[in-house]
Structure 1
Amino acid sequence: MVLDRLKSLFVGIESGESPRPTRDEKAFSAAALLVEAAAFDDRVDSEEMATIRAILTDRFALSPEEAGGLLEEARNLQATSNDLHGFTRRIKEHFPPEERIGIIEMLWEVAYADGELHDFEANLLRRVCGLIYVSDSQSGAARKRVLARLGLE
């Protein structure tokens, strides 16, 4: 199932075609990055997984079962791969700027799910911002929105 989803996600890239991603492909790209962010400090806790599940449910209008399945697929992928470039390239090429900023906001939510920002998570956020062309000021504004929403200002 993971391989089928990956194949459909990246279909046409090698041939130069550039199909528009579906809602599910967008959700899977986001889920993969969110799981990578959660695992970047070498531990994934229940708060981070609950945050990712809530993000997938809310932002992509998924049922709890769909979000859980997508989260499981993303976790399986993260366990076998450490390549952000495929997902970030797809996001950069096919997501409009406001959606890319939304992805960064989601990543900040996961990074702060345990109430603190770890250096590894901050590093990942900077890397992803550069890869998907989100400026430091846009990322900073997204971070402030998340901190305010979480009451961590």
Structure 2
Amino acid sequence: MLDQIRAFLGGLRDEGRTKPDANNPDVAAVALFFHVIGADGVVDDVESDKLKALIIQEYGVSGADLRELIEAGEEADREAVDLYQFTSILNRSLEPEAKIRFIELLWNLAYADGYRHELEDHVVWRIADLMGVSNRDRVLARQRALAAAGIDDGEAAGDGS
């Protein structure tokens, strides 16, 4: 399943490509990452570092490819009017198991600062809903992200202040 995500996003390394655009599944994914980490109105260094590390680890991009993808994803998120434009692209590209894994990645970003802000929670819930990920799978993905971050569920609730 993780290989499917990597293969799906691996197209960034094609030579001679132009700058990725918002219709590219890779850009759509990164735009949603930015939407989650920015949901509470603050994108701190911890969240930015986690975003870069997640893209490098999960998608296998680095260097100029990483910079281009981050810039394109951030720009797409800034220009977006809704989440549907990104989730519809991912819905066409990901199998059900990969969608659940994607939601888990979103939770990993939401917990990067050690807290689950209610706005971040709502954004992940909404993305999961638009991608057809069940409430059960969304909650299980959240629990896996909590465990990976070493955060007790009671500690995670809060606004980060």
**TM-score (ref. length: structure 1):** 0.81
Q: Distance in 1 between matches of 2:37 and 2:55?
A: 14
Q: Report the residue type matching 1:142 in the other structure.
A: A
Q: Distance in 2 between matches of 1:150 and 1:66?
A: 27
Cα-Cα RMSD: 1.6
Matches within 5 A, 1:3-152: 5-6=21-22, 9=23, 25-152=24-151
| Structure 1, 26-35 or 74-83: larger mean CA deviation | 74-83
- SS of the residue corresponding to residue 5 of structure 1 reads coil
Q: Distance in 2 between matches of 1:105 and 1:112?
A: 11
Q: Distance in 2 between matches of 1:54 and 1:33?
A: 16
Aligned length: 135
Percent identical? 29
How far did residue 64 of structure 1 move? 4.1
2:29/2:73 contact within 8 Å kept: no
* Structure 2: stretches of 5+ with no match in the other structure: 1-17, 153-161
Partner of 1:15: none
How far did residue 42 of structure 1 move? 1.1
1:92/1:132 contact within 8 Å kept: yes
1:57/1:64 contact within 8 Å kept: no
Q: Distance in 1 between matches of 2:63 and 2:148?
A: 22
How far did residue 77 of structure 1 move? 2.0
